Amino acid sequence: MQKTIAVDMDGVLADVEAHALNLYYKQSGILLTKKDIEGRKEAEMLPDGLFYKLVREKGFFREVPVMPGAIEAIKKLSENFTIYIVSAAMEFPQSLPEKREWLAEYFPDISWRNIIFCGDKSVIKTDYMIDDHAKNLDFCQGKAIMFAAFHNQSQNQHLKFGNWDAVTAFFENE
Amino acid sequence: MQKTIAVDMDGVLADVEAHALNLYYKQSGILLTKKDIEGRKEAEMLPDGLFYKLVREKGFFREVPVMPGAIEAIKKLSENFTIYIVSAAMEFPQSLPEKREWLAEYFPDISWRNIIFCGDKSVIKTDYMIDDHAKNLDFCQGKAIMFAAFHNQSQNQHLKFGNWDAVTAFFENE
């Protein structure tokens, strides 16, 4: 039986960071780069708690660009592993159909059988979990793999990779 | 730490059977009782594969009545166990927001953190799983508890209870 990998969406498959910075630029005229927000917490990514307002807006999750390299990486990993997409979507109910549609567009080969929208991820048991949030990885039941993001810069308690090429290379030896 | 119970929605918390029979009666004028459909597969519950057409209709899952005794049982079980609602909702994307709203109406004390909409349930690891489908229970990682339904009448490979009072009584000794 193939080993299983739980793959997070926001900040891992979906470039939420780029999308939020782009929307902020359109709304404010202020251009923040990925470098500008490095080390900030998610809540402080944009001024006045704007990030959490943006993610609650209709359409936010449907329009997020796909993370560079993610499509190729999932295709490659699917050859030897069973992939589950596991997104903590339940906090934002409006995101549920949007995330489902987004996955159908960018990852049409992922079956509905392998998609999980949840709240906390503590009852998800896969052999590996790829996520950008320590709260999901710290207690996960498989091998934790942190996907680097602006908000986890100082967190190094897990195996950590900066992009999808590095993740794919790691799994070549697993 | 409290033990965890994964609780299915359709056929367990939500009386999908009663709802489908009621809709069929409204559409056809033919009154089928629970007794009439006992032992049938889900696909054969109604003539001409109508059941699977009904569940794909907008509003179907939002309007399902709650299973008798379910609200009281979940309240009681929540005193000693951590409850996760785990629904194989991903096959029917239109059901995602409807099921979220339905849960908010009937089970407002269940946090979004404890709700999981998935495809197959094989990567869900809880101490117990209550479900009406053998396909979810046969490979589940905790103790399987089958909730009786018309379509599982001949399946007796798991601990099986016919209503929520019986489930609650079982958990009093766990």
Chain A residues in contact with B126 (beta carbon < 8 A): 123
- The pLDDT, as a whole number, for residue A87 is 97
Contacts of B57 (CB under 8 A, 6+ apart): none
Cβ contact, residue pair A125, B125, below 8 Å: yes
pLDDT(A67) > 90: yes
How far apart are alpha carbons A116 and A101 in whole angstroms?
Answer: 14
pLDDT on residue B72: 98
CB within 8 Å: B123 and A97: no
Angle, CA B32 vertex, CA B18 and CA B35 arms, to 5°: 80
Burial class (CB in 10 A: 0-12, 13-18, 19+), A52: middle
Positions of B annotated as catalytic residues are: 8, 10
Tell me which residues of chain B have a pLDDT lower than 70: none
A10 labelled catalytic? yes
- Cα of A58 to nearest chain B Cα, Å: 13
Quick check: A141 pLDDT over 90?
A: no
Look at residue B123 in the predicted model and tell me its pLDDT.
94
Confidence check: pLDDT of A103 > 90? yes
Q: Which residue is closest to B84 within chain A, CA to CA?
A: A123
At residue A83, the 3 state secondary structure works out as strand
**Domain extents for chain A?**
3-15+65-171, 16-54
Q: In this complex, do A117 and B114 lie within 8 Å of one another by their Cβ atoms? A: no
Q: Using a CB-CB distance cutoff of 8 angstroms, which residues of chain A are in contact with residue B114?
A: 119-120
Residues of A at the B interface, defined by Cβ within 8 angstroms: 4, 6, 84, 90-91, 93-94, 96-97, 100-101, 111-120, 123-126, 141
Give the pLDDT of residue A115.
98
pLDDT of the residue at A34? 87
Residue with tokens 């949007």: A98
Determine the Cα–Cα distance for residues B46 and B119; give it in Å rounded to an integer: 24
Asked whether the predicted pLDDT for residue A93 surpasses 90, the reply is no
Q: Is B79 exposed, middle or buried (CB count within 10 Å of its CB: 0-12, 13-18, 19+)?
A: exposed
Within 8 A of A117 by CB-CB distance, chain B residues are: 90, 96, 116-118
For residue range A142-152, what is the model confidence (pLDDT) as tens digits? 999 999 999 99
- CATH number (3.40.50.1220, 3.40.190.10, 3.40.50.1000, 3.40.50.1100) of B3-15+65-171 reads 3.40.50.1000
| pLDDT score for B141 | 86
Residues of chain B positioned with their CB less than 8 A from the CB of A96: 96-97, 100, 117
